[in-house]
Amino acid sequence: MIVHIMILNMCNFLFFIIIIISMCDNYNIIPQFGATCWFNVILTSCCYSEELRKLVKIKSYKWDKTNSFFKFLKTILKYSYTNDKKIRQMFYKQKPEYILFKYLNYFDKDLKKIMRLMIYHYWKNISLLIYYNITYIITFIRNIGINCLDIIVLDNEEYLVDFYKNIELKLNIEKINQEDVSFKLKDDMQYEFKDIKFILKNKIKKANLKKIPEVIIIQPSNLFSKYIPDKELYKYTDKNFKFKKYKNNYIEYKGYKYKLDGCLLSNYNKKNVNHVILGMTCNKKKYIYNSFNEDNRLKAKNHCKLYKFNWNINKNTEFYFNYKTCKIKKINEKTNIEDKEQTYSFNKGDRILIYVRMNKDNNNDRKNDRKNDRKNDRKNDKTDDIDEYMSISNKKEMINSFYDIENLKISKLDLETILINLGYKSIYLKNKSKDFLLNLLIKKINKY
């Protein structure tokens, strides 16, 4: 009888271990509704990827308690490693767009202006909240209180160190008058984008290497090369900067070891629309987060979760996603799949590598960190009320602020183009007044 009980307990223990190990496959992930994949992977890397998540949680104990963006981020952190149905429902009600608006209002009003100009005058589609570069994660994690060092590897194998702050986006928007064109404009004036590019700031700041970074972000190649060729950046490289590379996903800098915890990755084939995914870690295993769904059907039963995949930045394993089966398909032979699907490899294409510092001084410090982390978790569990953070506040005000409808100055032709991109038939919009089109746009925005 005692033997049977021991065997039963052992079976229950093993079953429990199996559930714990495989639990990451079933976590509720952040879904994508519009063109926010770039922001989704940033949120997911901070709130789901194992080592970075631990660091963000430690930082969260010192966040401003009156900041509603931080409050909502705490909610994601608290419940990301659960199957809580309330969180799944929350993600569908509180879309990433709302989280983005909230973030922009607190931390980056300049980016808010840039995105507004782009969606009205360049893409002419208000559903496209696209940002220009996945390197924005550098700005994001600094804004949430993490000390980060960024490294760009140029084609001469030299490094640009802490250089991201020296680059800015340049938008050249011109007003086109009727006398400037030979054809009849439908309005007296319209705007045109003449140029979109990255430029170097007037004053190049040198890297501050006194502090030991908590995170090191590496660009294996220059993601700005389309705008600024590598050869133009050689003179800014730091000849004395050194760090040790290890093949087993570790680097060492100033005696501190850093572990590769995540990789933001774009599809390498440019025949399809660019999309960003995330290689991440969870419970010591490797996974891929992909916010995209076939036909953007975001019902829970159709939404793919984390893909278990042993991604490797040193091995050229090419693959694509089957969204109907929620499976990853490897490309083993030359086919025309690259003409049909977005294809990826963690060994090429636009990549951002996230390394998180693993040791402070010794193992005892790490144990103390974990002990303090658990203590703060228990403290926060008593003080944080999940219901308080289930809804993002002032959503309507944020939407109005972002789209700035009251001060919107675009042509009737642009309005028609935007509404067509949002699904309206051109025949329905024909011969309608500008006021009618504007009210139609307002109704569409208010449905978000």
pLDDT (average), residues 58-67: 93
Q: Return the pLDDT at 181.
A: 65
Distance CA 254, CA 47 (A): 27
Average pLDDT (332-348) is 84
Q: Across the strands, what pairs with 148?
A: 215
Q: What is the pLDDT of residue 91?
A: 82
Average pLDDT, stretch 394-417? 84
Report how far residue 415's alpha carbon sits from residue 408's, in angstroms, rounded to the nearest whole number.
Answer: 10
Mean pLDDT over 374-387 rounds to: 50
**Has residue 14 got a pLDDT over 70?**
no
> What is the arithmetic mean of pLDDT over 296-304?
55
Confidence of residue 118 (pLDDT cuts 50, 70, 90): confident
Give Cα 229 to chain centroid, integer Å.
25
Distance CA 139, CA 103 (A): 12
Residue 220, pLDDT above cutoff 90: yes
Question: Long-range contacts for 268-273 (Cβ within 8 Å, ≥24 apart)?
Answer: 268/343, 268/344, 268/345, 268/348, 268/349, 269/338, 269/342, 269/343, 271/338, 271/339, 272/341, 272/342, 273/342
pLDDT, residue 389, reads 46
Highest mean pLDDT among 164-173, 189-198, 230-239: 230-239
Confidence of residue 383 (pLDDT cuts 50, 70, 90): very low
Would strands 307-308 and 285-289 be described as parallel, antiparallel, or unpaired?
Answer: antiparallel
Q: What is the mean pLDDT of residues 342-364?
A: 83
In Å, how far are 141, 257, 258 from 215, measured between CA atoms?
9, 11, 8
State the average pLDDT for the chain.
82
Secondary structure letter of residue 262 according to DSSP? E
Highest mean pLDDT among 50-59, 69-78, 245-254, 272-281: 50-59
The pair of three-digit structure tokens given for residue 431, joined into one six-digit string? 């011969």
Higher pLDDT, 308 or 406: 308
| pLDDT for 50 beyond 90 | yes
Most confident of 18-32, 189-203, 257-271: 257-271
pLDDT at residue 20 greater than cutoff 50: no
Q: Over 70: is that where the pLDDT of 149 sits?
A: yes
* pLDDT greater at residue 364 or residue 155: 155
Do 305 and 321 form a contact (C-beta atoms < 8 A)?
Answer: no
Predicted local confidence at residue 448, as pLDDT: 66
What is the average per-residue pLDDT within 229-240?
91
* pLDDT value at 194 more than 80: no
User: What pLDDT is recorded for position 279?
Assistant: 97
pTM for the model stands at 0.86
pLDDT reported for residue 139: 95
Query: What pLDDT sits at residue 83?
Result: 82
User: pLDDT band at residue 250, thresholds of 50, 70 and 90?
Assistant: very high
Higher pLDDT, 388 or 332: 332
Q: What pLDDT score does 408 carry?
A: 81
